[in-house]
Amino acid sequence: MKCEVCGNDYDKSFTVELGGTRHTFDSFECAIHALAPSCDHCGCHIVGHGVEDDGAMYCCHHCAHEAADQNRFAKNGHAEALVGEASEESFPASDPPGWAMGID
């Protein structure tokens, strides 16, 4: 049977039923590419259980936590202020040193 992702005609292909629809694949890689949900934070395919929070899917607790922090700051209007504050605190990070080594 032919893989619906790559078109490979493979004698060891398999079928997966999802939501009443049957899909044929020649590898788990193609099945993951076609069927696995993507993390709403980083975009990677969720191969394991993942984390679901308020209708969003995440690949791990770290991404769920990061997304929750971003949402909380965005709702409170603090995101831009925090970025601006962090930028001001790190300025002037790229200034050259005040001395020149090896120049007479």
Q: What is the pLDDT of residue 56?
A: 93
Question: Would 97 be classed as within a structural domain?
Answer: no
Are residues 7 and 27 part of one domain? yes
> Does residue 29 share a domain with residue 41?
no
Residues 50, 4, single domain; the answer is no
Distance, in Å, from the CA atom of 13 to the CA atom of 47, rounded to the nearest integer, reads 19
pLDDT of residue 17 exceeding 70: yes
Q: How many domains does the chain have?
A: 2
Q: Are the C-beta atoms of residues 67 and 40 closer than 8 Å to each other?
A: yes
Does residue 78 form part of some domain? Answer: yes
Give the domain extent around 72: 37-92
Say if residue 5 is in the same domain as residue 21: yes
The larger pLDDT score, comparing residue 68 to residue 46, is at 46
Q: What is the pLDDT of residue 53?
A: 87
| Residues whose CB is less than 8 angstroms from the CB of residue 37 and which lie 6 or more positions away in sequence, other chains included | 45, 46, 50, 57
Evaluate whether residue 24 is within a structural domain: yes
Cβ atoms of 89 and 68 closer than 8 Å: no
Say whether both 60 and 30 belong to one domain.
Answer: no
Report the C-alpha gap between 94 and 92 in whole angstroms: 6
Question: Is the pLDDT higher at 21 or at 73?
Answer: 21
Q: Is there a domain that residue 98 lies in?
A: no
